[in-house]
Amino acid sequence: MKKLSKKKIREIRFQTIIEIIMVLLLIVSFIPMFLMIIMSFKSNYEVYYDFFSLPSHIEWSNYVNAFGQLYESMANTLGVIAVAVVLTLVLSALGGYVFATMDFPGKNLLYYLLLVLMMIPGVLSLATNYSLIIEYGLFNTRWALILPWIAGGQVLGIILCRNTIESLPKDLFEAAKIEGCGEVKALINIAVPLARPILATVAVMKLVDYYNDFIWPMMVIETNTKQVITVAVRVFTSAAGTVNIGAMFAGYAIATLPLLLLFLFTSRLYMEGMTAGAVKG
């Protein structure tokens, strides 16, 4: 059996230490989630007097109570976000294709302005966006959520799609034009299929951003049936927190479930999109 060198042994030890540290950090990061799930099945008595133990009796009523209060907001949130994400992808693909394949006056200036927009914190535009929503009569409507979301979300999408489409072989688009393929067909049949990984990445990133938005929905929506889950769960926990702590944690668990499912089913697509440009060139 071949004897390992001292350098190789040190490398193995270092790698082992790093892996142990990563596993410990992973366990620590999941502790709040585990506690949330455990608490959601407890009664108030067990929460107060036996905090760290497993529930002796599973309180399914906590989830029934929380779901009954939050299901409308959850359905509304998923519907609004679905529309916003689809429109963001459409505008991102269109903008990215235009910047990558077409030449027009002021192209570079417009692209640099998009990069500048990335550096401006979104909180600085809240007052301006709110004034526009009031002026156009969109207050307390779902469009008050969708339009600002896609207006801000398409910026990163355009930049990522432009970089991806620009890295594609130019011969593909030239051959398509020779065959009589117009710009729209080239976008749909060539650019979009080849840019699918980055579009999936944009979709996941924007879905998480829109779902986690709290300040903007709280400012422009005042009807409970139109409110998103982040604000609705805050209102629910304020009402149930002192009366039914288990239901409060159940509300947190229900609000967390969509993002957890998103991570489980789209993490591979997200990583493919993030690493797609790393193997080119």
Rounded to the nearest 10 degrees, the angle between the axes of helix 61-101 and helix 196-212 is 130
Contact 116, 122 (CB under 8 A): no
Residue 8 has pLDDT above 80, yes or no: no
Distant-in-sequence, close-in-space partners of 181: CB < 8 Å, separation ≥ 6? 189
Question: CB 252: neighbour CB atoms within 10 A?
Answer: 20
pTM: 0.82
Interatomic CA distance for residues 33 and 1, integer angstroms: 46
The sign one gets for the Cα dihedral 267, 277, 212, 84 is: negative
Tokens 């509304």 identify what position? 76
Helix-helix angle 245-275:196-212, to 10 degrees: 160
Residue 29 pLDDT more than 80?
yes
Query: Which of 95-109, 202-216, 230-244 has the least mean pLDDT?
Result: 230-244
Give the number of other CB atoms < 10 A from CB of residue 232: 24
CA dihedral 57, 63, 68, 74 (to 10 degrees): 180
Query: Is pLDDT of 215 > 80?
Result: yes
Residue 281: what pLDDT? Answer: 40
> What percentage of the chain reaches a pLDDT higher than 90?
23
Start-to-end CA span in the chain (Å): 42
Please report the DSSP string for 35-70 in residue order. Answer: HHHHHHTS-HHHHHHSTTSPPSS--THHHHHHHHHH
- State yes or no: pLDDT of 1 exceeds 60: no
- Closest by CA to 127, choosing from 219, 251, 30, 7, is 219
- Band of the pLDDT at 194, cuts 50, 70, 90? confident
- Mean predicted confidence (pLDDT) in 161-181: 83
